[in-house]
Amino acid sequence: MGLFTFVVMQSNLIFLIGFMGVGKTTIGKRLANKLNIPFIDLDQEIEKKFQISINEFFAKYGEQAFRTEETKMLKFIISESEQAIISVGGGLPCYNENIQRMNVAGKTLYLQRPAKELYNRLVNSKADRPLLNDLKGDELLRFIEDKLLVREGFYNQAQIKLTRDQQEISEIVELLKSS
């Protein structure tokens, strides 16, 4: 890992991280509503900026360009937001030292789910997810298991880890208050 420096700032930013399909956007919206603070979906911000879907972005520019833009958007959101719940793409914490960046800028919450449950959640929405488009059946489950194995090293650097049984909004609020 390279040298890593940030300006430490007072912040009330809460980052939701975890694998695609784990529920970051749904939980993020509910949590933001409960705390009466803004909700920001990083993927939606990228789609607004480029006026195309994430799928189209991947097809047109490739994954590497997406990861670069994703990091730029994260830096922008951190610099411009005083208080927010921020849902990030499943891969974002794994690139460009973004997990460290988020840990310095605010609180990181890792929403955990088992691979088989993620498979069940993703099997019918994979057309919306560029990394899953062409995968079927056991191939999709293996992809999820393999990616999760690689990404968990980054996800586990989150300050708060929430198992599927700890993802009720009231419980998350209590955990945030006590951390």
Q: Assign residue 122 the CATH number of its domain.
A: 3.40.50.300
In a domain, 20, yes or no: yes
Over residues 134-152, the pLDDT tens digits come to 787 788 899 999 999 999 9
6 in a structural domain: no
Domain membership flag for residue 3: no
On whether residue 71 sits in a domain, the answer given is yes
- In this structure, the number of other CB atoms found within 10 A of the CB of residue 177 comes to 7
- Residue 80: CB atoms within 10 A of its CB come to 9
pLDDT in tens, 79-131: 999 999 999 999 999 999 999 999 999 999 999 999 999 988 888 775 567 66
The number of folded domains in the chain is 1
- The Cβ of residue 102 has, within 10 Å, a number of other Cβ atoms equal to 25
- Inside any domain, residue 2: no
Strand partners, 86: 15, 40
Alpha helices by DSSP H, listed for 62-163, are 63-80, 98-105, 115-122, 137-155
Three-state secondary structure call for residue 19 = coil
With beta carbons less than 8 A apart as the criterion, state whether 158 and 108 touch.
yes
pLDDT at 74 over 60: yes
**SS3 label, residue 143:** helix
Flag whether 145 is in a domain: yes
Does residue 72 sit within a domain?
yes
Owning domain of residue 88: 12-178
Does residue 7 sit within a domain?
no
Q: What per-residue confidence (pLDDT) applies to 123? A: 82
- HSE toward the beta carbon, residue 72, CA cutoff 13 A: 10
State pTM to two decimals.
0.89
Residue 10 is predicted with a pLDDT of 36
